[in-house]
Structure 1
Amino acid sequence: MFSKKYNSFLKDSEMTAVIRAADWSSTSVGEMDKWSMGLRSALGIMLNSRFPMFLFWGKDMTCFYNDACLDSMGIRGKHSSILGKSRAGSLSEMWHIISPIIKNVLKSGEASWHEDQRVPIFRSGKMVDSYWTSSYSAVCNDFEKIEGILVAMNDVTEKAEARKKKEEAEERTRLAAEIAQIATWDLDLQTHKMIHSESLATIFGHEKNVQLTYADMISQFHPDDIADVVEKAFELSMQSGTYKYEARVIKNNGELGWIRSHGKIFFDSTHEPLKIIGTLIDVTEEKNHSEILMESELKFRLLADSLPQLIWTADANGALNYFNLSVLIYAGINYRDLNAGGFQKLIHPDEIEQFDSNWTSVLITGDDFLLEHRLLRHDGVYRWFYSRAIAQKDAAGKIQKWVCTSTDIQQQKTFTEELEKEVSERTAELKNTNVNLVKMNIELQSFVYVSSHDLQEPLRKIQTFISRLNDTEEMKFSAAAKEYFEKINAAADRMQSLIQDLLAYSRTNLTDKVFVMKNLQELAEEIKEDYRERIQETNAVVEIHNLCKAKVIPFQFKQLFNNLIGNALKYSKPGIPPHILINGSLINGFEIKNLGAEADCTYCHISIADNGIGFDMKYKDKIFQIFQRLHSKTEYSGTGIGLAIVKKIVENHNGIITASGAENQGATFDIYIPEL
């Protein structure tokens, strides 16, 4: 018979059986009579059970089983019959799993219960793992001695696998929540008891092993958000079944944070709320970033509305989405109409195609949008604007938005048009002036020709006849007549000198300006040689030092040296031998920038100083003007053209000339000629 422990186990597992007579095909009634009451009872239970059952009996653990084992345990087909077989020849695949349990039950006599026990069995011709809930109970003989073990088994493979999949899914969900830093919570609305994941505590600023109550969580909400946000969200959830909100929380360390919660409410059959299951995430960083963006956007709009420029923005696809106050005032239409394509209607019909083409192009390339076009003002007048749009890009270079400005350039346009008109008129005038200048140059050339031939011819005849009269009739002239003839002769000579000087001055403009690299020292020495007799007559000293090489017009530069050296010899002080010092050097243009020199150019500096009569510095500019004389023609001969010729030659060489001096203390002329 069974032990009390076994009977209790059978009752608990609800596996009751009725012992009844049975037809044992493999065992005679006579043999059954030899078995003990315990064995007979166990076999009766097995035969009447709908669960697979095994009985291991005797010292060799002879195996008995019921029909329920044939298919569910994979015995059919594998063993034609294992009834009465020892364990070695039966169920060898599972024996190594159940044998340790059987040994413990034999030793202790205590029934043993096992859930989800993995047991390998044959199914569809192959060994597979299955899961069973099993009980092990001792079976005693007539003398209360344990003779065997009765094993009852229930196949729970489908439930075990389903539970395993559920656990795996729950684990994946848990891991995903942890990775995403999402806390989960489960609140019983009847008892207010709450279960939550570890991450919920950390979001509220606690250690992760702290268990928060619903009251703890509510106490950390910002006071202003409890009624206005949390409780209001709960009221709405009673209708929708969805519980969601964003609220501020005061973390355990006193810092202010933001959370976002999303949950679902479960109701009973009477629509009474039972519980809420939801998630919660820390969105403090997101909110802070959002607030920074909003603050930046607000500053941008305040600044944009304070500017007279038309400012508008567009999204990455080019759709206009913002216009400042100046656009609204200029266009005279509201924001909604502008946003609905009104801005494009402001563009002048002649420029709309170009505007759209350029805008489409920059949306693809990301280049700046630049265009001059007209926009319609609220009073029906088109004004010119210069529009510029710049793409704002993220770190990866992807366009996020466009910021655009349109600047009123009507005044500049009007000024430009007037300027172009004026330039056109001036160009026409200049063209006419050039034609007249060509005519004047032709006339001047004719005058030069007349001066060099026709005007000098009568002078030569006058001088010739005066000379003949002096030779043949001198003795017949009275003293007064002789004086008159001398004055006539002097006037003719002066007239001839004046004509020759005028010709020399005109040639400084009319001669071909062919520049040649020359040694200025050699040119100055040639002129000094030309004045040898005069130098000897006056006991003059002429020193020439360190003149450089430069590109010059040789003929003109010889005339320059001739006029300056000649003036120095002519305007010497009576009784004092002339001393003329000519020095040369190279000088950087930056040093004489105040004189109008180019700072990055190198100049040949030529200084010509004398010890003559000098001049008052108030005449330093006047002396270079044509026909200007500081002394009477009776004191010093000359026409007043020599220094004007010198200045013209210097200007022909893009040079600079200055004069300095003092009365009776000599004069100095400084000339600066570009080296190349």
Structure 2
Amino acid sequence: MNNTSPQFLMGGGEMGALTRAYDWSGSFIGEPHTWPQSLRTTVAMILSSKFPMFLWWGKELIQFYNDAYRPSLGDNGKHPTALGQRAEDCWPETWSIIKPLIDNVLAGEEATWSENQLIPIYRNGNLEDVYWTFSYSPVINESDQIGGVLVICQETTKAVTTHQKLALSEARFRSIVEQAPMAIGLLSGPEMVIDVGNDKLFEVWGRNSSIIGLPILEALPEIRDQQFAQLLEDVYRSGNPYYGNGALAKLEKNGLLEDVYFDFVCMPLRDVSERIVGITILATDVTRQILAQRALKENEAKMRSDRIAAWMEIEESQMQLLALFEQSPVAIAIIKKEDLTFTMANPFYAEMVGRTPEEIVGKPLLEAVPEIAGQGFDQLINKVMETGVPFRSGEQSVDIVRDGRLQTIYVDLTYQPKKDLKGQINGVLVVATDMTQQVLARQKNLEAESALRGAVELAELGTWQINLHTKSVEFSKRIRDWFNLGENELIDVVRVYELIGRPDRKSARKTIERATAPGNDGVFDMEYTVDTSTGIKERILHAHGKVHYNDKGEAYKVSGTVQDVTRQRKIQLELEHQVQQRTEELQMANKELASSNFELAAINKEFVAINEELSQSNNMLARSNENLQQFAYVASHDLQEPLRKVQSFGDLLTKRYSTQLGDGVDYVKRMQAASKRMSVLIEDLLTFSRLSVRQDTSERVPLNHVIESVIAVLELSIQEAGAQITAAKLPVIIGDISQLEQLFQNLLSNALKFRQPGEAPKIQIMHKLIFMNDLPIPIKPLRHAGAYHRIDIIDNGIGFDGNNADRIFQVFQRLHGKHQYPGTGIGLAICEKVVANHGGAITASSKEGEGATFSVFLPA
């Protein structure tokens, strides 16, 4: 089948090749050349898309899918037998889940949308739990019936499992906090609400777990007038951590205020966007140590032993903190100032950089992790130790060797200066969170959103949304352009109704009210005209939307799409008018025929006379063509001969008598230049006159071969200009190869001639197939066809004033002086004549200094 595959099955990677090679004769849909246009278009779109797509077609739900969907079938599973297979035979394990969704779409109900849906499938030799985000939508066939179901999907298994792991990690983190041997708490928001706290924290504060959920100043009102209230506010506002040693707090315990001393750290808590959302508190009760130090002043003999005991307890608290770091679900490491050597790295940090703690601790940074050399992290650490200013970076990219290969990971990274008891910086505390899965998942979501936006743009749809609570309305840029609304202009429901034409306003209001009323299907669908009284262009718009409900079943917004169907409706009305007119004419003709049979003989005589006149006209046309050929001979020989003599004699004068002529040499050269321009003008006029007689255009012409031939002819000009010419895959058309070569040679010559001074020309040749109804309004091809090839020749030259776009195709019309850019002004008129001979049309668009685009439309 590969040698006879239709054009729409070309490309598509592996699935394109398998689709071309598949024996479709045994299927109810038959060979591809017999497929309906709706199936051809949908299959071509699926195979060319980089987004996962799947199609069920016809009553047997025959299957198609593309390379982007292929990985979701796994290995040793359904691929490649799923291609061309019946849906029920392919998906027995999920049929009870997907069959109702397919039936709903085939029954004409709205498209489905499912997010992170668990649908187990058999792949890789096992039945696997797979999560999907997908949409089932109808594909309309030529009979305006639903011919199939299109599935646009994305496997989200990794994202769902990552979310589940994050939830488990958070639960583990809370468990570690609750079991930590030191006081730990998390305060959320500007109100400092106690979100997390362990028993050690409640013990230090003299409270119990009932204070969770309360603002800290409400839970501990006695600290309101102490330094801690202002200290917490400063940390939250500035983002700078605060370290306290031996700080005194007066806390109420058992109904009495007690003096309690703390070593503590207050660190700002940030989300993934680096916004401060709370404060983390780590504290150690050092009241006993402080009291011991005071006792040392009273008893010198006892001072030494008490001091040793105090330091031992401090050391014990530091060991507890180190143990907490070891158990933390966040990657933590400590790097000392000398040689940037790791003194501590917990398992999460080691796992993040692809090592074990034993491979890191005790080694300098660039020796332990050599692949980060040149990435600047050692310089950042030195800067933090020099300035004392912490460094924070969200989703920082790092190239790390993990699992034996170099990978790019993304981390939320903090370098915090570490100080000794004298306040001197002796190292850096590294805190990092691996955000790779979240970043990759977000990138995939962005790609999916981009694909959906591309689909909206391809369909030339506008999007809208109404907030039913605030009555505010959001319009996409395309809708704002349709209604002449400013980019930032606020719109409400009242304003929307004013934009709708008066005859349709009441209907639009009722349609919205019906869609949002309880018990209805929540679908909004109507066509309406726009109000042109304010100067808005006359349009007919088709709006479709869906009501969204909250958890209580209350409608809170309506969103959907709008399509401009003005052209379609005008064509429909015109067709209806023509049908009615033709019907009336037929009825009148039948009446006249019934009463005028006796006039048939006279009409036959008139036909004979007309045929005689037509024969005479043909004879006159033949003589006219002979005269034109004689003129062509005269133009090419008799008119050119005197010009050639003028040029030859001019050459003799300048070579032999230049000294005698003196200043007259300049006049001779000007005479030669004028005669050369006259010769070129005669040749161009001759070419233009030949094109007036249409030639046989039954030859199949590959346009890419035409472009290659033209580039070979212009090779010297292209090299001198340093031009770059790129051509897309162009179609094969029925035409005259010599005329088409003339067309593209003139267009490419213009692009080379009218280039920007000092800038190499860049010329692109693009192709797009468009249907008749989608032709730009000014384009009126001479031959009617269902579709047209649009070929754009785009350059980066000097351009021209767009107001002159129609003039440039007229004979002798020039936009620049002949001394500045040589030429006769006939080249583009020849281009228009060639395109007209092939039943097409040509247009040009440009702005001065911004290049030009010539668009050729040829019947497909």
Relative contact order (alpha carbons < 8 A, sep ≥ 6): 1 or 2 greater?
1
Q: TM-score, normalised to structure 1's length?
A: 0.37
